[in-house]
Homo-oligomer: A and B are copies of this chain.
Amino acid sequence: MHITDIILKKRSGEALTKEEIDFFIKGYVDGSIPDYQASALLMAIWFNGMNPQETTDLTLSMVASGDTVDLSGIDGIKVDKHSTGGVADTTTLVAAPLVAACGGRVAKMSGRGLGHTGGTLDKLESIPGLSIEQPMEIFQKLVNTIGLSVIGQTGNLVPADKKLYALRDVTVTVDNMSLIAGSIMSKKIASGADAIVLDVKTGSGAFMKTAEDSVELAKSMVEIGKLAGRATVALVTDMNQPLGNAVGNALEVQEAIEILRGEHPGDLKDVAFALSAWMLRLAGLADDEAAAMKMLTNALESGAALDALSRMIEAQGGDPKICEDTSKLPRAGKLISVKAERDGWISEMDNTEIGISAMLLGAGRQTKADVIDPAVGLWMKKRIGEQVAVGDELAVFHVNEEKNLDEALKRFKAAVKISGEKPDKLPLIYHVVE
């Protein structure tokens, strides 16, 4: 088999066989296929796509490139969730404790934020003392006793994805449905969960800007999950504005705690509940949505969900008192109010730009090497559809380092559009792919 024949075949628009895909992934990981041939193939895939069978073959080939996590030490059905990434997207910190409090088993390996999107590990690390590096025995023990643990990826999981993603990143081949689906699902499958709930974001702050693309990605990933023997559901949810109000690590932890205390209704809570309900259903703990919602409401109102989060924080070395008093979280030195400069309705947000504003304040990373300031970020005060008058507060910036403050403010203001007409209401959940 020759890699040039495989490139030619894909360039001609033909489907690759499982053997050809295996040959490529193995050869690329072991170095016998060089970067320049891999990038030519990736660009041909970008142009001609991959069908569902090819996408599944690619995913399983990537899974086979490294270790897989053995979660057999955990009793019951292990259920995982994954978001394709967004702004103020704190659902894991709400959903995982809720599901754990309902008897679910959430053994979650999370990731870090990059660019305009946040990452659960960074958020957790804003909790004083908490460590996301835990040995597998502790991880499994916590899931067995508390019902949840969130740690960083361990072991040599999916080295093919690490190598391919780094190449895609510098060859403009990231934004392909099959490559995205393969990258996400290979990591989920290798992480060992029995059931997977996917939150596919759509809109101005998501990688997929249109609902159609997001639904297509959702279908592709559900198909892969099914073929790989994992119960998989995907929700396509809105990312045309920050999902919660908080954008920034400690601020997002604070918001999650406020939700688990029952103090904070809104879109973030609603999406977290929708995801949690599916997690309970896939885990066999609830028969339908109504039953799941009832269990989740109980877990919230009884304080059991907040208690699960608190126990996990403590078990991973963090200070559980933040659950009672969020002022113990890191705080920025300066608060700056950003105000509306015209009357009207909030009609639209460039949500990627809002994420970048927070990143510029130090809440995120421009490159992987950047260091995050856990305290900084911004707190949204208005949502799309709300009416504002000149001088109304749109957001509060939480600032330490002021180096990029002007640019952050400028980009934020340009990102929030105020119109003379009331906009149509955005859907929150566009589609569910079962």
Q: Which residues of A are at the interface with B, using a C-beta cutoff of 8 A?
A: 4, 7-8, 11, 34-40, 42-44, 46-47, 167, 170-173
Contacts and interface: CB of A to CB of B under 8 A. Distances in A.
A21 to B, nearest CB: 17
Contacts of A7: 171-172
B167 A11 contact: no
Interface core residue of A39, A46, A47 (most chain B CB under 10 Å): A39
Closest 6 CB pairs of A and B: A43-B43, A40-B171, A35-B36, A36-B39, A7-B172, A39-B40
Nearest to A48: B47
24 contacts: A4-B170, A4-B172, A7-B171, A7-B172, A8-B172, A11-B172, A34-B36, A35-B35, A35-B36, A36-B36, A36-B38, A36-B39, A36-B167, A36-B171, A37-B39, A37-B171, A39-B40, A40-B40, A40-B43, A40-B172, A40-B173, A43-B43, A43-B44, A43-B47
Count the copies.
2
Contacts of A8: 172
A139 B4 CA distance: 40
Contact of A42 (B34, B40, B173): B40
Nearest to A11: B172
Contacts of A44: 43, 47, 172
A34 B37 contact: no
Nearest to A171: B40
A35 B37 CA distance: 9
A171 B35 CA distance: 10
A91 to B, nearest CB: 31
A330 to B, nearest CB: 35
Contacts of A171: 4, 7, 36-37, 40
Contacts of A46: 11
A38 B171 CA distance: 9
A277 to B, nearest CB: 39
Contacts of A4: 170-172
